Amino acid sequence: MVAQHSRTVFLIDMQSFFTSIEKVENSSLDDQPVVVAGDPKIRSGVILAACPLAKKWGVQTAEALWEAESKCPYLVVVKPRMQLYLDVSVSIAASLESFTDEVEPYSIDEIFVEMTNILPGLGRTAEEAAEMIITKIYRETGVVARVGIGPNKVMAKMACDHFSKKQPGGVFHLHENNLQEKLWPLSVGSMFGVGMRMARHFQDMGIRTIGQLARANLTDLRKRWGVNGELLFRTAHGRDESPVTIDTHIRRKAIGHHMTLPRDYRSWDEIKVVLLELSEEVARRVRANHYLGTTVTVSARGHDFFDRPSGFHRQVKLYDFTNDGNVIYETVKKLFLTHWNRDPVRSLGVSLDGLTTDEERQLSLFYPERDREMLNHTVDDLKNKYGSAAVLRASSLTAGGQALLRAQKLGGHYK
């Protein structure tokens, strides 16, 4: 029997990620069967990604380029641009972090998002929220996403891998009520965490399906494979208590916030309002995660990023650790004014890097900060209790301000 859960977790998977980005970059590839492959002279031409049109010809990821070309004579081969793909992946994760810190990049094209505390305020079902996120990602990047929904990370992952990718809308919800019907008939080798060797071991034991593994004797599994045997038994039952957190894989190194503006901002008077809002939002999230940081980064770009790139990405190291929005903003302001060439700005970003725990910090005799810290935490408490619009700077009410509008939205969409 599957334990009852109250969580809702999304696994967001970007369809044919590398080739999707290449088609966004070059619209002439839209109707072409495209693959991204390594240099044949160096990597034997292994297929790293294939678009849906190429897959219709039978082209598969990880096969040799010559095999793919023998299947599809019209194949368009593009060399990989990993930094570009990584940049887009980071931007998608940052976009999702605009409404929750519980975002965990699982791979370059997969992201876990903890939705448990988001859905009540959103006023939508999990499926509706998934559709909203798919639309958001497509509008911002041109990449099509699929979403697996589950009561934990394992269930969300298997929902996406086995079902979401086959649904017309790209969304599937795997839960305790449909687990036995949908998941248990599948081959045990298709279960998350089971490799080819383990699948052969299970088959030697007469275990062919996930359901048969779920009904197997746990004592026998423990005796043969120890902790891993029990872990796979729990996975077959859809049990997983692991949290959605970036610290699952790496220690968090930075917290940032990025915003796409509703129009081109041309004047410093408008731009500085948004930079102040971003600085304070980054500081709030840094404090919420109990961090301090030493490196401030600001980025800006114009509206025509792909055809006529413009903008910059600059950072500077502070003399001391901070999680104060005013300190971050003053640094951001100097950086921005130094590097801005007066081109119109359509998106802005601010981040604080070099993070460390706030449990220990060096006291300064010349810069007493205790009162300021108490004020910051008081404002945080008010926003947490009454909403992000409970306390605003007067500048946010001017034409350039976005904080009041953002307070009406969740993940860039109206509630």
Q: 412: how many CB neighbours lie within 10 A of its CB?
A: 18
- Phi then psi for residue 122, to 5 deg, are -75, -30
Q: List Cβ neighbours of 140 (8 Å cut-off, separation of 6 or more).
A: 91, 92, 95, 260
What's the maximum distance between 2 C-alpha atoms anywhere in the chain?
73
Task: Name which of 80, 34, 71, 101 is nearest 284 in CA terms.
Answer: 101
Catalytic residue among 110, 114, 270, 280: 110
| Segment holding 101, helix H or strand E | none
Task: Name which of 172, 234, 181 is nearest 5 in CA terms.
Answer: 234
- Please report the sign of the dihedral spanned by the C-alpha atoms of residue 66, residue 68, residue 73, residue 76: negative
Task: Name which of 200, 273, 271, 186 is nearest 235 in CA terms.
Answer: 186
Residues belonging to the binding site for Mg(2+) are: 13, 109
- Phi then psi for residue 54, to 5 deg, are -70, -40
Question: How far is it, in rounded angstroms, from Cα 85 to Cα 110?
Answer: 12
> Is 281 tagged catalytic?
no
- Phi then psi for residue 256, to 5 deg, are -140, 170
Are the C-beta atoms of residues 350 and 387 closer than 8 Å to each other? no
Task: Name which of 370, 372, 329 is nearest 351 in CA terms.
Answer: 329
Active site residues: 110
